[in-house]
Every structure is written in structure tokens, then in C-alpha cells.
Amino acid sequence: MDFNRNQFFFLGMFILLIGIQVRVVEAYVLTPDATRMLAERSGNVQLASASNSPAQAFAAAPVNLGYRKTVRPPEWLGWCLLSIGAVLILHSLAMPRPS
């Protein structure tokens, strides 16, 4: 399947807006459920199983108290997404119109 002009433009706008959001927002705070799900999927057994056992409550107290993971994306990620989005938009404008 080949991408046409409109699809390139939409993808470029989408990536550009995500890049703006990453540049504006300094950190993302995940919910305790999302933190627990990421811990389970990443294989961090201590963090994932601490909420299931009350005996381990003191070993990993942050998880049991509703620990929320904070994600801080690097500064270069926002600039990278902005530039990729801009290139895709400019590429879509250089393509011939769909017939």
C-alpha cells in the first residue's frame, strides 16, 4: 500500500503535534495501575508483586501507597518529532495531488 499526499500530511501533522506536546510537557505521571502494569511487563518482580502481598508491604512501600511512576522524556525527543513531522508535511506538499 502506497501512501498518498493526504496520508503523508496527516501523519506529519500528528507527529508534529506529539512533538509539540513532548516539548511543552516536562514530565508525565502514570497512574498506580499503569505503573503496576509496566512493572509486570518489564519483569520487575519486586515492584510488580509487592502490591499483591501484604507481607511485602514494608519492602516496597511506594507501590502499596499508590506509587506513581514519573516519565521524563529527553529534550531531544521533542525536537526529533518536530523535525520529522515538518519534513513529512513538506514532503506531502511537494507530492502531486491525488486524482
Which residues partner with 28 through β-bridges?
71
Evaluate if residue 99 carries a pLDDT over 80. Answer: no
3-state secondary structure of 3: coil
Nearest residue to 74 via CA among 2, 22, 17, 3: 22
pTM (two decimals):
0.69
Kindly state whether residues 67 and 87 are assigned to the same domain.
no
Nearest residue to 46 via CA among 27, 67, 29: 67
Kindly state whether residues 10 and 38 are assigned to the same domain.
no
pLDDT digits (tens, 9 = 90+) for 22-62: 999 999 999 999 888 888 888 875 655 545 544 444 444 44
| Element housing 70 (H / E) | strand 70-71
Counted domains in the chain: 2
Kindly state whether residues 59 and 76 are assigned to the same domain.
no
Per-residue pLDDT at 9: 96
Kindly state whether residues 35 and 67 are assigned to the same domain.
yes
Per-residue pLDDT at 45: 58
pLDDT digits (tens, 9 = 90+) for 62-91: 444 568 889 999 999 999 999 999 999 999
Kindly state whether residues 59 and 83 are assigned to the same domain.
no
Residue 54 contacts residue 93 (beta carbons within 8 Å): no
Q: Which domain holds residue 54?
A: 29-71
